[in-house]
Amino acid sequence: MHPTELVLSPRLRKTAFEDRVFELGIQSFTIYNHMTLPVAFSSNPESYQHLCEHVQVWDVAAERQVEVVGPDALALLELITPRDISTCDVGQCVYAPLADQDGLVINDPLILRLREDRFWISIADSDVLLWVKGIAYGRDFNVKVFEPDVSPLAVQGPKANDLMADLLDDSVRDIKFFRFIEAEIAGTPVVLARSGWSGQGGFEIYLQNSADGLVLWDAVWKAGEPYNVKIGSPNLIERLETGLKSYGSDMTLDDHVLECGFEKYLNLDKTAEYMSRESIERLQKSGIKRRLCHVMAKADPLPGLRERWQVNAGGKMVGQASSCAWSPKFEANLMFAMLSTEVSEPGSVVTVMVNGAEVDGIVCDDRWKY
Ligand code: THG
């Protein structure tokens, strides 16, 4: 690896929780939505094990919100995603990929409906604010679009229910998956949702005033002490086992929504206008040529990726792998790879080129079966 260091300046935005994150011994972070996002606090496998058994607090303030509010808010939301947003209740969030007029993936956010005419788009790493502001202006929608001062703090792991029940009360146990309530913690108003970027269960607390970031952190931390709480971060091993794809790595603006495994979330016949409709219909007719696949390689643990790895089959290139981690659960390397449909069915055998070495892989379904 190259011994380099990222230099922090005001251009790389500070999170509301950053002081605690540094105090608790951050080892590395990445940049996400022009903001720091912690990556790991102990070695990944240790943090993974702890996440699966206990409870962790994650600074995910870099999951920024784009607020859309006003009489045309629903029409604007419907236009930018092929998912049906009209059926989303107030108090519900949905996973809804944003696609442009060519069906290409702009982002894969959660969308929270706060009121009939007020939404938060909780974004992955791309400049959705500019995209949505441009569309609102160009289409003359009667809405306000802005980035509110909102910072999600994730509480993830099997003991998250106990922590949160102690912090608030037992009613939080009844919050259903992808539903949220408004509450107050340590004197600061929050939106509390059952969601988060792991398969281990838990909550996301949306802080609405960065000045209260450390007070909120400390209250959550104190409630977590009986449950062996540790600081954590979105975990590469866990997210591969769970099958969570990361925008910018596993899919980008070069990929079509139908290629990325989003079909199950979409309602392509929804009545509202959406800008990718024609492109999606065209691709449905002609048939897709690539698909984002799960690939398992039963080799020794592979290194991390700086660039995508070429994937071959039958002596020719069939795609590229974009994420990889060694999984203790499957005792294998798990990868996401955008592959030609010739080899995208579970059971297909491929060769992954890892820094000059050939590694055998097998294509799996989204539960890692083949
Ligand atoms: N939480 C919040 N904002 C976010 C993320 C988050 N913004 C960026 C990124 N993560 C958005 N992407 C995802 C992707 C998947 C999920 C959440 C956010 C997710 N998926 C579940 C799954 O695949 O099992 C369930 C999806 C469903 O059934 O609807 O949770 O994490 N605030």
* Residue-level pLDDT, tens digit, the chain, 370 residues: 566 778 889 999 999 999 999 999 887 889 999 999 998 777 789 999 999 999 999 999 999 999 999 999 999 999 999 999 999 999 999 999 999 999 999 999 999 999 999 999 999 999 999 999 999 999 999 999 999 999 999 999 999 999 999 999 999 999 999 999 999 999 999 999 999 999 999 999 999 999 999 999 999 999 999 999 999 999 999 999 999 999 999 999 999 999 999 999 999 999 999 999 999 999 999 999 999 999 999 999 999 899 999 999 999 999 999 999 999 999 999 999 999 999 999 999 999 999 999 999 999 999 999 9
pLDDT of residue 64: 98
Compute the distance from residue 206 Cα to the ligand 1 centre, in Å.
Answer: 15
Q: Does 85 contact ligand 1 (Cβ within 6 A)?
A: no
pLDDT at residue 6, rounded to an integer: 84
**pLDDT value, residue 1:** 54
pLDDT at 43: 76
Q: Does the beta carbon of 203 lie inside 6 Å of ligand 1?
A: no
Nearest-atom index, ligand 1, CA of 93: 29
Q: Is 196 in the pocket of ligand 1 (CB under 6 A)?
A: yes
How far CA 77 is from CA of 94, 123, 191, 261, 357, in Å, comes to 12, 13, 20, 21, 46
pLDDT of residue 59: 98
Q: What is the distance between the alpha carbons of residues 334 and 297, in angstroms, rounded to a whole number?
A: 7
Task: Please tell me if the CB atom of residue 319 comes closer than 6 angstroms to any atom of ligand 1.
Answer: no
| CA 179–ligand 1 middle distance (angstroms) | 13
Distance CA 170, CA 173 (A): 6
Cα atoms in the Cβ-side hemisphere of radius 13 Å centred on 19: 10
pLDDT at 2: 62
Which ligand 1 atom sits nearest the alpha carbon of residue 178? 29
Contacts 24+ apart (CB under 8 A), 321-324: 321/295, 321/352, 322/249, 322/250, 323/236, 323/240, 323/245, 323/246, 323/249, 323/250, 324/240
Asked whether 195 lines ligand 1 (CB < 6 A), one says yes
Q: Residue 3: its pLDDT value, please?
A: 60
Q: HSE, CB side, 13 Å, CA atoms: give it for residue 139.
A: 20
Say if CB 336 and CB 322 are below 8 A apart.
yes
CB 125 within 8 A of CB 33: yes
Cβ pair 175, 91 in contact under 8 A: no
User: Could you give all domains of the chain from N- to C-terminal order, each with its CATH number?
Assistant: 18-62+150-240 (3.30.1360.120), 65-130+256-287 (3.30.70.1400), 289-370 (2.40.30.110)
**Residue of 126, 197, 203, 247 to test ligand 1 pocket, by largest number of atoms within 8 Å of CB:** 197
Residue 307, classed as helix, strand or coil, is coil
Q: Residue 120 is encoded by which pair of tokens? A: 């938060």
Angle, in degrees to the nearest 10, between helices 73-80 and 128-138: 120
The whole-angstrom separation of Cα 86 and Cα 269 is 13
How many residues are recorded in the chain?
Answer: 370
> Does residue 90 contact residue 105 with C-beta atoms inside 8 Å?
no
CA-to-CA dists, residue 330 to 21, 309, 321, angstroms: 31, 21, 18
Task: Work out which ligand 1 atom sits closest to the CA atom of 246.
Answer: 12
Q: Whose CA is nearest to atom 1 of ligand 1?
A: 196
Q: What is the pLDDT of residue 41?
A: 74
Provide the whole-model pTM: 0.97
Tokens of 112: 């929270």
Joined tokens for residue 108? 């894969």
How confident is the model at residue 20, as a pLDDT? 96
Instruction: Please tell me if the CB atom of residue 108 comes closer than 6 angstroms to any atom of ligand 1.
Output: yes
In 3D, which of 314, 369, 364, 306 has the Cα closest to residue 335? Answer: 364
Q: Give the whole-angstrom CA distance, residue 26 versus residue 29.
A: 8
pLDDT the model gives residue 40: 78
Whether 109 is in the pocket of ligand 1, judged by its Cβ within 6 Å, is: yes
